[in-house]
Amino acid sequence: MRKEREEDVEINLTGEETPSSSNDVKPKWYKRIRKGITTSTADKKETPEGLWSKCPECNYISTTTELREGLYVCPKCNYHHRIGSEEYFDIIFDDKEYEVLFDNIKSKDFLNFTDLKNYQKRLDDIHAKTDLKDSMRVGVGKAKGEGLVVACMDFEFIGGSLGSVMGEKFSRAVDYCIAHKLPFIVISKSGGARMMESAFSLMQLAKTSGKLSQLSDAQLPYISILTDPTFGGISASFGMLGDLNIAEPGALIGFAGPRVIKETIKRDLPEGFQRSEFLLDHGFLDFIIDRKNMKEKLAQLVMLFRS
């Protein structure tokens, strides 16, 4: 049985770590006399950082090497770990060879938006931390010899949120596809629209749809791959508009986040709600694909469209 992960999808949009629940005041049955940790660290065994990885689903512990070789899929329960554009490009493109396109576009704080943190500061901090310029990267290369353009989101960057830069990269990627007669693949992983760009982020829904319309007129295939999680503005635009909509197993996909729905209807959500399998059952996906078969399947589909 799949363990239901309680997750606040929207909170990812702040680009901060998920807040700990330590603020929930619970009655304490013990009393701390001395503050801080006083145990000696002299005998502590040093373990190198990041050598082991625990599966959030089944708690299986594997080495990071093992995990990487298995394309970041839990060998025990097939849980698909969240990975970024770098990993997806390596998985899809032959010999991990590809060219990154439009990497010179960067987000900017046009509205001078400040919540708990200034937007520009947020952008700079995340850039410093992850070296990413925004939440989407576009790569062109070959999969099993078939040429394709892949636009992939990075959840690390403000929850993979859709802002002006994603909209622009998406548009240029479509133009590139049309100019080079290549199919367009988008791998979505996003909490939704980027609030710090306000209505500009909303307008990206129409901007990207307009480009898809042109791609469609050029009779080039558009394949949308939905991964965990895909919500809000993405599912309400190009995420659901693929000639084919495909998802990784167990991915949480929907329009409204589970927390919001739960608060609205005031009852618990059924098990498996908004998972890929649920969407497949309700007719919104063409099929679900394991990450290890993704490259082969994409190449096969591109071949079928082409020949």
Alpha-carbon span 71 to 249, nearest angstrom:
14
Q: Which residues contact 168 (CB under 8 A, 6 or more apart)?
A: 102, 105
Out of 176, 198, 272, 305, the residue judged to bind other proteins by CB under 8 A: 198
Q: How far is the CB of 121 from other proteins (least distance, A)?
A: 14
Alpha-carbon span 303 to 297, nearest angstrom:
10
Can residue 228 be called a binding residue for other proteins (CB under 8 A)?
no
159 phi-psi bin (left φ>0, alpha ψ -120 to 50, beta other): left
Q: How far is the CB of 220 from other proteins (least distance, A)?
A: 16
| Alpha-carbon dihedral sign for residues 84, 207, 224, 249 | positive
Q: How far is the CB of 215 from other proteins (least distance, A)?
A: 11
Per-residue binding letters, 116-155, with other proteins (x by CB under 8 A): x---------------------------------------
Closer to other proteins by Cβ: residue 70 or 272: 272
Alpha-carbon span 226 to 229, nearest angstrom:
8
Q: How far is the CB of 70 from other proteins (least distance, A)?
A: 31
| Residue 229, phi then psi, degrees to nearest 5 | -105, 160
Per-residue binding letters, 81-120, with other proteins (x by CB under 8 A): -----------------------xxxxx-xx-xxxx----
Which range touches other proteins (CB under 8 A), out of 24-32, 138-146, 227-235, 287-295? 227-235
Can residue 254 be called a binding residue for other proteins (CB under 8 A)?
yes
Per-residue binding letters, 8-47, with other proteins (x by CB under 8 A): --xx-xx----x----------------------------
Burial class (CB in 10 A: 0-12, 13-18, 19+), 280: middle
Element (H, E) at 61: strand 61-63
Burial class (CB in 10 A: 0-12, 13-18, 19+), 135: buried
Alpha-carbon span 152 to 154, nearest angstrom:
7
Which range touches other proteins (CB under 8 A), out of 53-61, 67-75, 280-288, 289-297? 280-288
Structure-token match 């009655």, residue found: 27
Residues that bind other proteins (CB under 8 A): 10-11, 13-14, 19, 104-108, 110-111, 113-116, 163-165, 167-168, 171, 193-195, 197-207, 209-214, 232-233, 235-241, 254-257, 260-261, 264-265, 269-270, 273-274, 282-284
